[in-house]
Amino acid sequence: MLKIPDHQVAGHTARHGKLGPLIDDSGRFYKPLQDDERGSKEVAFYTSFSSNKRIPDHIRRFFPMFYGTQLLEASDGSGLRPHLVLQDLVSDRHNPSIIDIKIGSRTWYPQASEDYVEKCLQKDKITTSLLLGFRISGLQIYGNNESGFWKPEKKLVLAFTPEDVRLVLRKFVSSNSPTDSNSVPDCSFAPSVYGGSAGILAQLLDLKAWFEDQTIYQFNSCSVLMLYEKESAMKGRSSGAEVKLIDFAHVVEGRGVIDHNFLGGLCSFIKFVSEILTSPDEHSTEACSPDPEKKCIAIENGTTE
């Protein structure tokens, strides 16, 4: 029995009769292939990556498991469509907090059309991609049983400034409610989620070390997914903090060249996470754009003012 994912934070969703991914109860995620070359390119990447003996085992853990492709009824009712069959990254998690980070100051691929390049460039300019080398594409942060998740709308997320990004990354590892505008993020889970030998920062540094050397692929417009379980952390158990890479429709061959676009964005993101560990008490209660013509974003309550 296929169903719509409960914890998808970015990308196309299958709700309201639209084309999007589905999941089953066995821990598999079915991503519909796009009609253009992006679908075939993503299949080609997974096929190449899964059989490439040059990929170290400790790096493979950052990628979803690949189970091939399968013809399934599309979620939009358009009939049979090939789907990527992947590991459902949250199938064994309870109320996971998740952030999708699109890496790179440039989000288009080398062979893209002029129209597509212009479209990507405009989005890179209005988000933090050009400025920081990454942007938040979507998120959900678990509060408690009563409040559920804080999951701001896409329009708000795309309007995040660098200060908004800093605040969200603090809210992500705080015990107080992410929607409480009167409280300062306490970052109480930062040491167990971001820090430690198996935490988010250590995993990001492992990825960075690989990207400093690997020239097999160029990872255009890919995302780093961060996830953990706040309820486990609150009870003093392992938070299950994990990093995964997703979205490979624009990956191209590296041809012996280091992927500086991805590496630079990853280093910038690592700096943001690292600063929370070294300065957990720093906070910003309201983040304003440096552009005086843009309005402030009160992201505590998920509204614009």
In the chain, % helix, strand, coil (3-state, to 5) comes to 30, 20, 50
Task: Quote the pLDDT of residue 16.
Answer: 78
Query: Is the pLDDT score of 222 beyond 50?
Result: yes
Provide CB contacts within 8 A for 11, sequence distance 6+: 20, 21, 100, 137, 138, 247
At 161, the pLDDT band (50, 70, 90 cuts) reads very high
3 state DSSP class of 221: coil
Residue whose token pair is 């995620």: 29
The model's pLDDT over 3-56, given as tens digits with 9 standing for 90+, comes to 998 888 887 787 777 889 999 999 999 999 987 788 899 999 999 999 999 999
96-283 has which CATH code? 3.30.470.160
Query: Is the pLDDT score of 285 beyond 80?
Result: no
Q: Give the whole-angstrom CA distance, residue 262 versus residue 243.
A: 15
Provide CB contacts within 8 A for 38, sequence distance 6+: 249, 250
Q: What is the DSSP letter of 35?
A: S
pTM of the model: 0.88
The mean predicted confidence, pLDDT, of the chain is 89
Q: Mean pLDDT over residues 89-112, rounded?
A: 93
Query: Is the pLDDT score of 284 beyond 60?
Result: no
Q: What is the DSSP letter of 33?
A: P
Closest CA to 210 of 248, 254, 242: 254
For residue 235, give both structure tokens. Answer: 């009870």
Q: Mean pLDDT over residues 75-96, rounded?
A: 93
At 282, the pLDDT band (50, 70, 90 cuts) reads low
Whether 256 and 75 have beta carbons less than 8 Å apart is answered as no
Percent of the chain beyond pLDDT 90? 73
Domain locations in the chain?
Answer: 15-87, 96-283
Q: Give the whole-angstrom CA distance, residue 240 versus residue 200.
A: 10
Q: Give the whole-angstrom CA distance, residue 249 versus residue 89.
A: 18
Q: Mean pLDDT over residues 181-186, rounded?
A: 84
Q: Mean pLDDT over residues 261-289, rounded?
A: 80
Query: Is the pLDDT score of 123 beyond 80?
Result: yes
CA distances from 60 to 50, 63, 166, 231, 244 (A): 9, 6, 29, 28, 10
For residue 1, give both structure tokens. Answer: 């029995």
The model's pLDDT over 240-251, given as tens digits with 9 standing for 90+, comes to 999 999 999 999
Query: Is the pLDDT score of 182 beyond 60?
Result: yes
Please name the amino acid found at residue 265. G
Number of Cβ within a 10 Å radius of residue 87: 15
For residue 206, give both structure tokens. Answer: 């492992």
